[in-house]
Amino acid sequence: LTPVFVGDGAAAGNYGYANSGYSVYEEENERLTESLRTKVSAIKSLSIEIGTEVKNQNKMLSEMENDFESAGGLLGATMGRLRTLSRGSQTKLLCYMMLFSLFVFFVIYWIIKLR
């Protein structure tokens, strides 16, 4: 009995790859390796897209933060003006509100009267 080696190219012995089913396993391994390779490349491209989206979202959040800071500054200035206005004479402010209310009342009365 002579042993059959891989390099001999003999397929007809009890020890050959074709008879032992090794080629089937090798083909399955190649198929699974290729499947794994495509999945890894898909995950890689997905992670790159996620990274790009995160960068865009961070940029947008930074811009929004700047906008909110400027709006907060504007609101603070407006509140400062309102405090200055309220420090004035309360009777003067009350008088203006009463005159405005009377004016609105007479305008509404005049509009109803014209009908």
| Domain ranges, ordered by start, for the chain | 18-88
Q: Is the pLDDT of residue 52 over 70?
A: yes
Report how far residue 69's alpha carbon sits from residue 58's, in angstroms, rounded to the nearest whole number.
16
pTM of the model: 0.46
Report how far residue 104's alpha carbon sits from residue 102's, in angstroms, rounded to the nearest whole number.
5
- Residue 65 pLDDT level (bands cut at 50, 70, 90): very high
Q: What integer is the mean pLDDT of 26-31?
A: 92
Q: Which residue has the tokens 């009377």?
A: 102
